[in-house]
Structure formats: structure tokens, C-alpha cells
Amino acid sequence: MAPSSLTIASDYHSHAHRPPYLMMLAATGFAILLTGCGKGDAATSAGAPQMPAMPVTVIEARTQQVPITIETVGQIEGSKDVEVRARVSGTRTRQAYQEGDQVKAGSTLFTIDREPFEIALAQARATLEQAQADLAQAERESARLKPLIEEKAVSRKEYDTAVTALQTAQAAVTAGDARVRDAELNLSYTNVVAPISGVTGRAQNSLGTLVTAGTDSALLTTMSSIDSVWVRFSFSEEETHQFRKQKNNTAVKLILPDGGMYDVTGKLNFTASTVDTRTGMVQMRAEFANPGQRLLPGQFVRVLVIVGEREAYLVPQAALAQTEQGKLLFLVSPENTVAPRPVETAGWSNHDWVVTQGLAPGDKVIIDNLMKLRPGAPVAPHAPGAAPGAPAATKP
């Protein structure tokens, strides 16, 4: 056992200055060696069979144009969000829609007790009729006195009084007509209609509630137009700088809560010109068409803003290992052994990692059996779906 122990110790000290990730990956190899010591020198001298090459699937790395994407979280809101409020005071008597219904502009949503407003309209009309009667009398009196003043059969003062009465009657008719129109308008406001086409919200008050115009109780419900929606999100100052460099090529995509990609591309319609001092972020907004109403106001989504393209490598998600020291890929060396390679990434493109540093064209990247690999171990590389020994595939 002494020679074996010295061999292990010597091997350990010769690797003490290797990078940490190689030491971690070699742990499995040391465990195998230590297990072998218990079998005695006889097995060693007899010559243990060498570990067979492990079959691994590999792809050949090549550069390609990859979108530069900034990912953040956004919240959806209707492109038009409207509060529906009572414009006259009264008792709410009817609700003509189901909460959450899609309604058209002009559709009745609520009614307010009409009777007081019908009475007010009748009074206004009666006042107008009285003013019209007074006007007719004033016109007759003025017409009667006009020839008499020319003949000096009446005094000038009596004629002036008749003319003034006529003008007063005319003004009273005008005022009466305005009161009638005001009463008609107030009566029409008892029928609360949808100001836009969209989805209705929850009713704020119950039937029979007294609502008062101009107060909080006047809020009856809300509506959102969702044929198109807005998505609000924000960028850090660094992301904003990156975005502004490529602004003309910007496109916006959404990833839905279920992980699926929304199949409509959006466009930016607002970019703040200042940094929010409370958060250090810059506010953004994008507009999306919403056929089928798949996007709902209030919903949270992941926002992908494509601000340009770069030359990089794409590798499958399963091919990359995350360690405390960083990200690693496992390559096949020219001797068909495992060669770990630290890499740098820049997010995702669909389901692949975007690798920006650490790879070279033609590198053979192992994409399976990562848990069984150790540095320097022999492997039998093959293309996806092929038998061991077949040439590696090029990443499309």
C-alpha cells in the first residue's frame, strides 16, 4: 500500500495549482482511485483493464448572427382604460351588463332613477311655454304701439317700455330653452353608457345605492380596450444605453406566463427621457395587437427587446454546466478525451445559450452525459442520432 499512497499523494500535489473547476470535476476520478487501493498490489501488477470510452453526443461549434436581446418583466394594461362615472346624482336602479362582458361603445351599462329628472324636464318645458306666451304678448304690444308712436298718439316712454318688455320676453325664452336642454341632458345621463368598446370591469356599487356626481361614489365601473394592449416595463441605465445604440432595429417579443412565446411582435410607443430617481430605471412602453384577447390587463409577462445582432455561438441548454466559478462547456479534444472549457454567455436565444467567449469554430461540444464526465476521460463522440464514431454535427 505505501507505494500506492505515495503515488496518490504525489498526484494530488502535482495538481494543486490547477483551476478550481478542474479540481471539482476530478473528484470523481480520485474516488475511483481510492477505491482501487483496497484490492491490493496484485491486481495492479496484473494490469487492470482501461476504462472504455464513453459514448457522447457532440455538435460542432460555428459562429452565426444572434439577436442581442434585453430581457425584463412587464405588466399589461389596456390601450384605453376608462372610468365610468355617474354624471348626475340619484339612485342606481339597474345594471345592464355582466361583469367582464365585451361591450360596444354606446351600450347601456347602468340606469339611475329617472323620475326626478323627468319632473325637472317637465318643469323646464312649462317655464319655456310661459316665456313663449309672454314673448307673444310683448310682440303684439310692441306691434300695436309702433304706428301710434309715429303718429305721436302715445308717449315715447310707453313705447320704450313695450320694446323693453319684448326684449325681456325674448331673453326669457332663450333661458327657458337652455333649461329645457339642460334637463334633457341630465335625463339622458340617467342612462349610463359605455364610452368605448372594450371589456367591462367589476361594478363598484350595488343596486339601490345613492350615487352623487363629483364624489367617489360616482365611480360605477371601469372599462379597458384590449383589441390592442400596452406593456409597461423599465430598463436600467446600462440597458438603456445599449438600447439607444440600436434603437432603429428594435423589436419587442413577449413570453407568456405558461412559457410560450406570444406570436405577435410589438413596437415601442413610449420611451421616458429621464431616469426615475426612486428606482434608477427608465420607463418604456410597447404596443401589441391582441387578437383573441389572449393578453389581459394586469397580467405579468417577460419582455424580450431585440436591439440588434452579434456574432456568437448557440449551444443547447443541457450542454452548459453552471459551477461556483462560472459556466463550463465540455469539449472533445483531438485525442478524444474530455476537455472542460470556461465560457461567457449573453442570455438566451429561444432555447439555446448564447456563448460569446470561450469557443472557437470547429470545437466539438458535448451535449449529453455531462454528469458522467471527468477531465481527460476517453470518449467516443458521435453526431446527434448517430452511432458512436460518426462525425459530429454542426450546430444549425
Q: Average pLDDT of 153-174?
A: 92
- Report angle CA 339, 341, 346 to the nearest 5 degrees: 150
The alpha carbon of 83 is separated from its chain's Cα centroid by a whole number of angstroms, namely 22
Least confident of 24-33, 346-355, 376-385: 24-33
Mean pLDDT (whole number) for 56-69: 89
Nearest C-alpha neighbor of 235 from the set 332, 305, 291: 305
Provide the mean pLDDT of the chain. Answer: 83
Q: The C-alpha cell of 52 is what?
A: 472504455
DSSP string over 150-215:
HTT-S-HHHHHHHHHHHHHHHHHHHHHHHHHHHHHHHHHTTEEE-SSSEEE---SS-TT-EE-TTS
Q: Write down the CATH superfamily of domain 69-79+223-310.
A: Efflux pump adaptor protein, beta barrel domain (2.40.30.170)
pLDDT given for residue 146 in this prediction: 86
Q: What is the pTM of this model?
A: 0.57
Which one, of 381, 351, 385, lies nearest residue 369 by Cα? 381
55/382 Cα distance (integer angstroms): 7
The answer as to CATH 3.90.870.10 being correct for domain 54-64+311-394 is no
**CATH class for domain 86-222?**
mainly beta
Helices 27-37, 2-14: axis angle to 10 degrees equals: 170
